[in-house]
Amino acid sequence: DQQVKQNSPSLSVQEGRISILNCDYTNSMFDYFLWYKKYPAEGPTFLISISSIKDKNEDGRFTVFLNKSAKHLSLHIVPSQPGDSAVYFCAARAYNQGGKLIFGQGTELSVKP
């Protein structure tokens, strides 16, 4: 039972354009969502997060949007840079699960110069 789903395994974007990474979830108990960036053979690096009481959070080039009714969130990166090329994981936390995170399958973003 995949509670957090990233249905696009890969995404290719031109430098300077917008990258949109999508994530869907099924568990209504999730109250906090996070996006992590990961390079091969390294641990994930925290990017940005959003509480379920909000619908948008912005940090520099990164914006996360949350649509609770659709159980959908997305990460927007604009403008995209070649250094953004990595695997992006969406993660969710349920308020009654002791803080553990459930991860999506990841989306590999490739930003081409």
Interacting residues with another protein (CB under 8 A): 32, 34, 36, 41-46, 49, 51, 89, 93, 98-106
Q: How far is the CB of 77 from another protein (least distance, A)?
A: 19
Task: Between 31 and 72, name the residue whose CB sits nearer to another protein.
Answer: 31
Q: How far is the CB of 46 from another protein (least distance, A)?
A: 5
Query: What SS3 class is residue 79?
Result: coil
Q: Are strands 45-51 and 72-77 parallel, antiparallel or unpaired?
A: unpaired
Task: Between 38 and 61, name the residue whose CB sits nearer to another protein.
Answer: 38
Concatenating the DSSP letter of every residue in 4-63 gives EE---SEEEEETTS-EEEEEEE--TTEEEEEEEEE-TTS--EEEEEEETT-SEEEETTEE
78: tokens are 């604009």
Task: Between 13 and 47, name the residue whose CB sits nearer to another protein.
Answer: 47
Q: How far is the CB of 23 from another protein (least distance, A)?
A: 12
